[in-house]
Structure 1
Amino acid sequence: MPTAPPAIQAEFDFGAMYDVAAASLRGSGPVQRPENQDNFLVVDGQGHACHLLDQLPRHCRLPGWPAGHGRVAVLDGMGGHGHGREAAEALVTSLLTLPPCHGVADLGRRLDVLHAELQRHFAHDPGARPGTTLTLVELPPGAPPLLYHVGDSRLYEIGPEHAHSLTVDHVPATAEAMAGRIDERGWWRQVHGRHAPQIAQAFILGNAFGEPGRLSDPLLALTPLNLPSWLCHLPDRRVLRLRQGAVYLLATDGFWSCAAPDRFVSGWPALLQGATDARGMLARLFGSLEQAPPPGLHPDNLTALVLRPLAPAGLEADETALPDGARSEHS
């Protein structure tokens, strides 16, 4: 039986700056996960917030939220650990109370504190420690967006011809690349050329970058100091320079959990061509998985958020978000 179309949330007020839409599904096709452990968050410029609670959209208004400030995020609760959905919900709930941030250092410091607080919150639960990915974009008024990323959800830039990931997956292959044990081509094949569900770091869970198989409590920020040269332009915590004419997609890995992810993702520019708003783009992304799923698609939760810039703040007219050298094809 066809999956019911997602309930797309798009009634947000970002003024003349951004067009935003978000949606989340338990899955696509006849075989699906028993629950949706993903989540998302949208806080618009009027303090109207939307996220999932008990797997259903919840709307609320944040008192005292400054006009014009925005926040968007996607989260993927760790399905292989206990309380994955609860971990993602706990983080989203905490993000509703996180003060608006205007700098990368402030955003990173506050989220690192929140990570430690949530670790303590879940410390007495039986079983393995839960975790969740977090790919978050803070949208200060009149200033470029700020990125905070942990896990293997992604931020994509989708232009007329290409779709490029603007985040580095926190997976064992990245740890191998950081240690110099695999090169750029080998990393690309493992991360973007096939489906590999293992993760090396997640919010609340901690990180295994230092010693595979053993978790350390803190989060390890991937920076130009510890990333290989061919990834050092994509640190986890940075100012984003959005490109005119591009669309930005925050999504969980259900959208590329297939036999050849890079081939499937390469079709997104054509898929979105002609769609005039974020809602329409999101409908096409979800519809493609239902109507023409890629070979080897794994059953997984699906969460996506489209951010379409409308005005110049945070945009670069003559520069792309990635250097030319980082836009080469990896085949």
Structure 2
Amino acid sequence: MRLMLREIYALSDTGPVRTQNEDMYLAAGNLGREDRFEVSVADDQPLLVAVADGMGGHPDGEIASRRALELLDEARSNNLLPDQASEHADFTHILSGIHDNLVGGADSGHALKMGATMVGLWLPPGEPPMWFHAGDSRLYRWRDNVLEQLTNDHTMVNEMLRSGRDPGGVSPHIVTSCLGGGMFKPTVDTASASGPIQPEDRFLLCSDGLTEAVSDQQILSILGSGTAQESAEALVQAALTGDARDNITVVVVRVTE
């Protein structure tokens, strides 16, 4: 049986406005901020990628995003991630544990500030993809020139829209779920694909710094062409030349034969 490769490229940029980068990415065991990382992993090996967007201002956001991803990668190293797609809900408990750790690890002066959103993609061998998120960092899948957003933002605006209310005047930056950040219990959404990954599938994990500046139509066009590196770099550049106001972090996973 011929193996497929997952070509991964991760890139994080402070952006043109902020002075500190509170985003962080996790890609195949590598944590990064304000840099880039590239690796290819065969599909007979497990692969975990994730993005965390820190909240609360420097240094609280930097601490929270790093710690959240460190704890997630520890769970992977300790073989605590689900082996089967039907068990994707296990990520609810894993992220809830990370939340508790962030809350318990913050001193009284920082406990209400130190938080992070998170989105992750887990690809165990022989199983359909699984994903999970808390907050407004997103996961997209590009397949056959169709872009699908696989996560629903945990924001006040999105909650109001889904309940049929007018969000006029409500800030799009208010999140209704995060890890830490003084939240009592985070909302964690988990899911799995109905089938296996396919050649030329492309996944994008990103912080809201990208999606606030780059439209889905632009993402569709950019993600569907070139290598993982070319797509990641073009996405960040599109945000920088657009109206980026926040840190920008992307992880692109391209499946090749």
Partner of 2:237: 287
Aligned-residue offset at 1:50: 1.1
Partner of 1:140: 124
Q: Does 1:171 align with 2:155?
A: yes
TM-score of the pair, normalised by structure 1: 0.64
Give the secondary-structure state (helix, strand or coil) at the position aligned to 1:305. strand
TM-score of the pair, normalised by structure 2: 0.81
Partner of 1:71: 48
Aligned-residue offset at 1:239: 1.1
Q: Does 1:41 align with 2:29?
A: no
Contact 1:81 1:128 in 2 (8 A): no
1:268 pairs with 215, 219, 222, which one?
219
Percent of aligned positions that are identical: 24
**RMSD (Å), alpha carbons:** 2.9
Whole-angstrom distance in 2 between the partners of 1:299 and 1:256: 11
Whole-angstrom distance in 1 between the partners of 2:5 and 2:187: 32
Aligned-residue offset at 1:136: 0.8
Aligned-residue offset at 1:190: 9.6
Contact 2:12 2:36 in 1 (8 A): no
Give the secondary-structure state (helix, strand or coil) at the position aligned to 2:233. helix
1:155 pairs with 127, 139, 158, which one?
139
Q: Deviations over 1:290-315 (max 9, x none)?
A: 4xx33xx142101000011236xxxx
Whole-angstrom distance in 1 between the partners of 2:250 and 2:102: 24
Aligned-residue offset at 1:272: 3.9
Partner of 2:68: 91
Contact 1:123 1:129 in 2 (8 A): no
In the alignment of these two chains, the number of paired residues is 241
Whole-angstrom distance in 2 between the partners of 1:248 and 1:20: 9
Flag the 1:289–1:77 CA change in 2: closer, same or farther, 3 A. Answer: same
Unpaired runs of at least 5, structure 1: 1-14, 44-48, 60-66, 207-215, 222-235, 312-331
Partner of 1:309: 255
Q: Does 1:24 align with 2:24?
A: no
Q: Does 1:240 align with 2:193?
A: yes
List, as ranges, runs of 4+ consecutive aligned residues in structure 1 with deviation greater than 4 Å. 55-59, 79-82
Unpaired runs of at least 5, structure 2: 39-43
Q: Deviations over 1:253-312 (max 9, x none)?
A: 111224xx5xx220223334541x21121122123334xx33xx142101000011236x
Partner of 1:300: 246
Partner of 1:219: 186
Q: Does 1:253 align with 2:208?
A: yes
Whole-angstrom distance in 1 between the partners of 2:236 and 2:9: 12
Partner of 2:173: 197
Amino acid in the other structure paired with 1:24: S
Give the secondary-structure state (helix, strand or coil) at the position aligned to 2:235. helix
Flag the 1:243–1:58 CA change in 2: closer, same or farther, 3 A. Answer: closer
Whole-angstrom distance in 1 between the partners of 2:236 and 2:244: 15
Structure (1/2) with the larger strand percentage: 2
Contact 2:25 2:49 in 1 (8 A): yes
Contact 1:82 1:127 in 2 (8 A): no
Q: Which moved more, 1:238-247 or 1:114-123?
A: 238-247
Structure (1/2) with the larger helix percentage: 2
